[in-house]
Structure 1
């Protein structure tokens, strides 16, 4: 199969391979990674058709450009030798207008050397006119350098030419999804809140859900809707829920009589793909049937800017009333427009297990659950992710992590392997967390919000054991690589 060179952003490098694999799965084409180092600024891949490359350019938010690879080498001598042995590659372009562009990763090439280097390709025999503005074909030279700080002109000139590898090929196109970072920027969004996901990360998450026209996707912690805008952009129908309807509605004064989530959806041209956004506690939701949602994609609140809540009262307080409360004005309290029901914290470890159990019931076979899990880097262990029978984690290498130093947000992607719906989750407080607390074997994300507020002090619960197996779940080590 033909080889192609992808120029990839150096941002979020741990997300790049899962993103490409997900695009290949959505459009059902094979992809093979040829590069030995998958985290450089250039990535060589093997694909069957150029149409597959176009799909990557259209969908992958990290891909800057794509080039059909003609030759490569550790030096220009190697590059020219390989290119001279494949001169037939130029036959379709002998008489077309063209230009040759020179690029580099982690370095700026002086213009004088660019001209000198381009002139060494005269042997290609191209007879068409050079067109710098609108060529029929563009050839590209790419030099790949190691990352190195070079703050002065002298330092840049000293390292010029000391590249790791050099590539030559025909440009196919520029990454068209990159513009979504600006067009969906939170700064220009009609409605957003302090927990809104930034556009780049939202689209990276959405890609893992495999969105496509006709699919139905759900966010049980919808907030201001960031996940749904990205998923709907790729054609999926979406709906969301949240225990706090104020996040969905925003301010609706004057002419703004629609909830804020819908105003932003209209801004992005996807309002017709929003089935609904509802206010309810996901642990007491109205859904009565499983096995019909294609993906659940969500960023659960974990207590940094907002904590997860569920209906009820905190431990030690009076239980919820069994009958409605009649106010002095003759109205029941829950009928007032500003009514907020009593709520209590929703422990992140409980929420994580409940979310996986919900996905096991609600998803179609091979449906995906995609969510962020905040983890303290020094405490995280793979066994922290509970694997429910019928669900498996999909992970490439060490996984996709947005690292903030002492902690990081780990993107968890799981697939429903079961063919049946199973039983709906009961959303009970899981006793096993108290049992593991007593024995000193807690998940690394247990009590994350408190540890964050305290500056991540060392755990006092001792070393956790991989042999701890909570009831109703199976904890197991996953092998590295994509399952």
Structure 2
């Protein structure tokens, strides 16, 4: 199969391979990674046909350009020798107008050397004439350098030409999805909040859900809708829910005023793909049937900017009323426009288990659950992802991680392997997070908010001590 050069953004290294694989799965074409170092700015892949490359350019937000690979080498002498051995590749373009451009990873080629380098390819026999503005075909030379800080002209000049490898080929096109980073930028959105996901990461998450026309996707912690805009852009129908309706509506009030989440959807031309956005606690969901959602994609609140909540009262507080409360004016309190029901924190470890159980019930077979899981890096272990029968984690290498130093956000992608719906989750608090029952090992995301606020202090625990601990590792009896 033909080989292609993908010029990849230097951002989010651990997301690039899962992103490409998800596109190949959506469009059902094989892809093989030829490059041995998948972290470089040049990625060589094997694909069956050029139409597959076009799909990557349309959907992958990290791909800057794609080029059909003709020849490569550790030096220009080696490159020219390899290219001279296969001059037949130029035959279809012998009489086409053309241009040759230079590109480089981790370096900027000086203009004089760029021209000199291009002139060394005169032996290709192209006769159509050079057209810099509108060529019928474009060829590309790409030099791949090691990453090195060279912030002075002298330093840049000294490393010029000291590349690791050089490539030559026919450019197929530029990455079309890259423009979504700007067009969907949060600060230009009609409605957003302080927890809105940035556009680039939103689209990287969306890719893992395998969005496409006719699919239905759900966000149970919808907030201001960042996840839904991304999957809806690729044709999916979407709906969301949140315990706090103010997140969905926004601050603007008044008769006839559309909720903020729909104003942003209209801005992107996606309003007709929004089934609905509802206000309810996911643990008290009105959904009564499972097995009909193609993907659940969400970024659960974890306490850095906003913490997860569920209906109820904190332990030690008086329980919720069994009957509605009648106000002095004769109206029930829960019917007031500004009514906010009592809520309590939703421990992230419990939420994670519940989310996977919800996906097990709600998804169609082979449906996907995609969510971010914040973890303290030194405490993270693969066993932190709860094992639920009928669900399996899909992971490439060490997984896709946004690393912030002491902690990171891990993109978890799971697939429903079960063919039945199973039972709906009960959303009970899971007592397996009692240290006495798990031999001292807590998930790296347990008590994340408290760990974050205390600077990620190590948990205090001796496995021989039969004591209960607070989420930040303190003795609960003190």
TM-score category (smaller protein): over 0.9
Counterpart for residue 350 of structure 1 = 350
| Cα distance between partner residues in 1 of 2:276 and 2:248 | 11
| Cα distance between partner residues in 1 of 2:438 and 2:88 | 71
Relative distance call for 1:110 and 1:289 in structure 2 (3 A) is same
Counterpart for residue 244 of structure 2 = 244
Counterpart for residue 56 of structure 2 = 56
Counterpart for residue 448 of structure 1 = 448
Counterpart for residue 35 of structure 1 = 35
SS in 2 for 1:375: strand
Counterpart for residue 267 of structure 2 = 267
In 1, are the aligned partners of 2:432 and 2:438 still within 8 Å (CA)? no
- After TM superposition, the structure 1 = structure 2 runs for residues 421-440 of structure 1, keeping only pairs within 5 Å, are 421-436=421-436, 439-440=439-440
Across the aligned residues of Structure 1 and Structure 2, the Cα RMSD in angstroms comes to 1.2
TM-score by length of 2: 0.96
Counterpart for residue 469 of structure 2 = none
2:211 is the counterpart of 1:211: yes
Counterpart for residue 360 of structure 2 = 360
- After TM superposition, the structure 1 = structure 2 runs for residues 53-92 of structure 1, keeping only pairs within 5 Å, are 53-92=53-92
TM-score by length of 1: 0.95
| Cα distance between partner residues in 2 of 1:445 and 1:32 | 34
Counterpart for residue 202 of structure 1 = 202
2:102 is the counterpart of 1:102: yes
Q: 1:413-438 deviations in whole A, cap 9, x for unaligned? A: 00000011111100000111125577
SS in 1 for 2:7: strand
Relative distance call for 1:256 and 1:39 in structure 2 (3 A) is farther
Counterpart for residue 309 of structure 2 = 309
Relative distance call for 1:265 and 1:436 in structure 2 (3 A) is farther
2:23 is the counterpart of 1:23: yes
Q: 1:89-127 deviations in whole A, cap 9, x for unaligned? A: 000000000000001000011111101111110000001
In 2, are the aligned partners of 1:291 and 1:363 still within 8 Å (CA)? yes
| Cα distance between partner residues in 1 of 2:287 and 2:423 | 13
Q: What is the count of residue pairs matched by the alignment?
A: 464
In 1, are the aligned partners of 2:348 and 2:445 still within 8 Å (CA)? yes
Counterpart for residue 130 of structure 1 = 130
2:375 is the counterpart of 1:375: yes
Counterpart for residue 44 of structure 2 = 44
Counterpart for residue 336 of structure 1 = 336
Q: 1:110-154 deviations in whole A, cap 9, x for unaligned? A: 111101111110000001110000000000000000000001111
Relative distance call for 1:137 and 1:463 in structure 2 (3 A) is farther
| Cα distance between partner residues in 2 of 1:408 and 1:247 | 25
| Cα distance between partner residues in 2 of 1:236 and 1:33 | 29
Counterpart for residue 232 of structure 1 = 232
2:411 is the counterpart of 1:411: yes
| Cα distance between partner residues in 2 of 1:398 and 1:441 | 20
| Cα distance between partner residues in 2 of 1:31 and 1:256 | 50
| Cα distance between partner residues in 2 of 1:80 and 1:194 | 54
2:184 is the counterpart of 1:184: yes
Deviates more, 1:326-335 or 1:453-462: 453-462
| Cα distance between partner residues in 2 of 1:254 and 1:278 | 19
Q: Which runs of 5+ in 1 are unaligned?
A: 465-483
How far is the alpha carbon of 1:441 from its aligned partner? 1.5
How far is the alpha carbon of 1:251 from its aligned partner? 2.1
In 1, are the aligned partners of 2:241 and 2:278 still within 8 Å (CA)? yes
Q: Which runs of 5+ in 2 are unaligned?
A: 465-478
How far is the alpha carbon of 1:252 from its aligned partner? 2.8
| Cα distance between partner residues in 2 of 1:40 and 1:103 | 14
Q: 1:337-394 deviations in whole A, cap 9, x for unaligned? A: 0001000000000000000000000000000000000011111100000120110000
SS in 1 for 2:26: helix
Counterpart for residue 276 of structure 1 = 276
2:319 is the counterpart of 1:319: yes
How far is the alpha carbon of 1:255 from its aligned partner? 7.8
SS in 2 for 1:378: helix
Relative distance call for 1:167 and 1:256 in structure 2 (3 A) is farther
How far is the alpha carbon of 1:204 from its aligned partner? 0.3
Relative distance call for 1:314 and 1:110 in structure 2 (3 A) is same
